Amino acid sequence: ALLVLMTVTSLRDCADTSVYAADVAASLRGIDKGFHPLWEFGHVLWCPIGMLMWWLTHPVSAQFFPDHLFLQVFSGFVAWNHLAAIGCFLLLYAITCKCGLRGINAAIVLVVLVCTNAVLSFMQSGTAYVPGFTLQLLAIYLLLEAAEQPQPSLAFSSETWAYSTPGIRPLHTLDD
């Protein structure tokens, strides 16, 4: 279902991805913008991840956009979003199974998730929203896993949640 929706839907709004793609392209070209374009405060890891995705995808994207570094970088951000959307789909399926849903009930939950604006629209935009949501689902999955253990350890799952929602300290460090 997810792959079909990725194919038959189109991008309506790329939000701020064009800004981040331009920042990464400027960094790759060595352009001085008066600040280091990779380290933007609000999304401290987003541009470095975009540069990594450009590095991984540019052999393919350069075939489609040979003289357009911006579009190559933009494609890397979108590829990361597609991978995150697939991660959302798989993690939600694992969570529904842990909660006892199977068959048609699990499928309904997955289709509803995929058809939400947060996933359907933004999985093609290259924004940080879908990867952040994927990390939140990963944290929920890890919390469910930890709850099944005889001596639950919530450290990694709380760190995952914290990294998916900027500005929140990991739960296990609040007493430090």
3-state secondary structure 26-62: HHHHCCCCCCCCCCCHHHCCHHHHHHHHHHHHHHHHH
**Per-residue pLDDT at 65:** 94
Residue 64, class by beta-carbon neighbours within 10 Å (0-12 exposed, 13-18 middle, 19+ buried)?
exposed
For 6, 24, 60, 81, 97, the CA distances from 74, given in Å and listed in that order, are 17, 9, 13, 11, 35
Around Cβ 24, how many Cβ atoms within 10 Å? 28
CB 80 within 8 A of CB 56: no
pLDDT tens for the chain, 176 residues: list them: 666 776 777 777 777 888 889 888 988 888 777 777 677 666 778 888 888 999 999 899 999 999 999 999 999 998 898 889 889 889 999 999 998 988 889 888 888 888 887 777 787 888 888 888 898 999 899 888 888 876 656 566 566 656 665 544 444 444 44
For 54, 59, 77, 167, the CA distances from 24, given in Å and listed in that order, are 9, 17, 10, 24
Q: What are phi and psi of 153, to 5 degrees?
A: -115, 115
CB 47 within 8 A of CB 41: no
Around Cβ 136, how many Cβ atoms within 10 Å? 17
Residue 88 corresponds to which tokens in the numbers above?
Answer: 């959302």
With CA atoms as reference, report the closest residue to 113 among 140, 85, 135.
85
pTM above 0.95, yes or no: no
Distance CA 20, CA 36 (A): 12
